[in-house]
Structure 1
């Protein structure tokens, strides 16, 4: 992993105002070199000024050591360099100080002003000293030599450090900007990863609920009918062997149908989920689990042999074969709708009939299906059960009505359920088809 800009800044441990130790070592070395140079040049300066040589050396040492604070106070370093220019000392001090000033965050107008002061100072001092040296040695040269040498020396001591400092400062600011941008992008990517993980977790929860609902719809109805037929089989086994044989055949058929539907659903889920195939372990990223589950669960309805409204009569016939008195009425012209709409409508009727088997065995039941212009309406209503037979003794998980409501609501429909005034129970749903 790469370190971010904040981590790099935190890792710096230089003393005082230095960010790094190597920067402190460099500045100390430059300050020592500048102090030695100025101290050496302080001897002729003291001789010309008529002061003791020791004073000139101390003055040069103090002036050269100012380079130690070039990073913190670059303006002060340049001003000292300009001040000692008439004494013919501090050439290293002037060059490094001007470079440090140009590379700092000081406004450009201040940098230009101080660079101009240093340029003029070096130009004047070099012009005066060249004329004095030429006069002392009584050398006859052209008038062009002194201005040319003075201008060349001044530009050579001012322009290169100034331009180099401006370049380094601009590059440093660019690198800081890029580092800040990289830190910002890394934070955004981390936030996106967290949100993707949250979405994947939400998707996994939704698909677990959806798969559990599908399993409930597939198993509960078939098993409920099997229990009802098994009870009837037990009651008539000795009295009417032929009817017992028919009930046994129905139980076997329903069991096979339930297994077929379960195999189809699990087959689609298994084909969409990856996992292990023939001993080969497949590693799936955590964030992709929710996506794979969503795609697999969607194919259960879209690509699988899911139920449709044309099978409603067969569904009602199975309940009638189990002993339920059920009437089916269809209003409107039957037409094909989206697979998900038909599957949801079928499951609502199926679960409502299952609840009648569980809680009101023997009650007369009415199933109504209406095809409208832009919606499909269905209603399953049962009368109060007879006093002698009120329940088939089937367990109830309490999730049937909740699952129906979730299915219908997911398609933008309306679901209503509750007891009737006559003591029965009614389940109604309206699902839009467009």
Structure 2
């Protein structure tokens, strides 16, 4: 019976241990955790290390630079003429090239008028010359007879005639001589009119438009065709006023103007030169107008396959004067238009610029930057004068 009673108590002890022991371990762990949390050393707060920006620089170099001025313009004819007939007549023949686009050299025949009326008129004038010359010879004979009669009369009367000119028929002789000169002039005029029936090119030209055909009846001063000279074309370019100082114009001190490269839309290139500065400004843009001359625009001497066309729009690169002892900088170096960032002693320095000239890519600086200065070409989100920087070298062009 005792054995049985002890065996019934043992399970409760085991159960108590199983329940109490985990609770004790959990409580001890919590107590240790709280103790460690409360006794941990406090972390010291400090400023994060400063981040110094890395910048790219280019070295300023002092040298001479040629100014190139970009401009736009339209091609026009340097010589344009409305060719008119000097005489009236019937268009007998025309040249096969007497069509728009036809090219002629100076003196080549464009068309012919019927010459027959003028040939007949010339024959009449020549016949009149012969008749007048005969009258002159007769009058000279009459003058010789009058001279003999006057001499005989003075000898018989013993007196001299007060006005012998009338007796010697000098006025009549002068009249016939004048008539002869007049009819000779008429012959010359008839020859000129006959020559004018053959209408020739007055200069090297291209037919831009024609107003007559073979068989047309034309009158004096009637327009026959519109001609454009082919020795040279002009381009009227518009340029800002402040850029004129760099362009060389022909004048008393110089024979030639600045050279010009002319580019068409199909990338054909032509050589020209500045010819004149026009005396007015463009109506809408108020820009100055410069006249550029392009010789041999049709490429006849160079055997060019693509001729320059009148009224075409072109791009010009005008070779201006040379700027001596200046520094060329990439345009992206300019900050706020007229300042630049310079790297000196690992610091950023903001310096003002005195810009002499600028184009789409480059600034030409007169002062504000010295040769050897490290010019910052990279962008910074925030730039303060005197801030610390790290420098990464670039090439001399800032590329």
TM-score by length of 2: 0.25
Larger RCO, structures 1/2 (Cα 8 Å, 6+ apart): 2
Which one has the bigger strand percentage?
Answer: 2
Which one has the bigger helix percentage?
Answer: 1
Which is higher, the Rg of structure 1 or of structure 2?
Answer: 2
TM-score by length of 1: 0.23
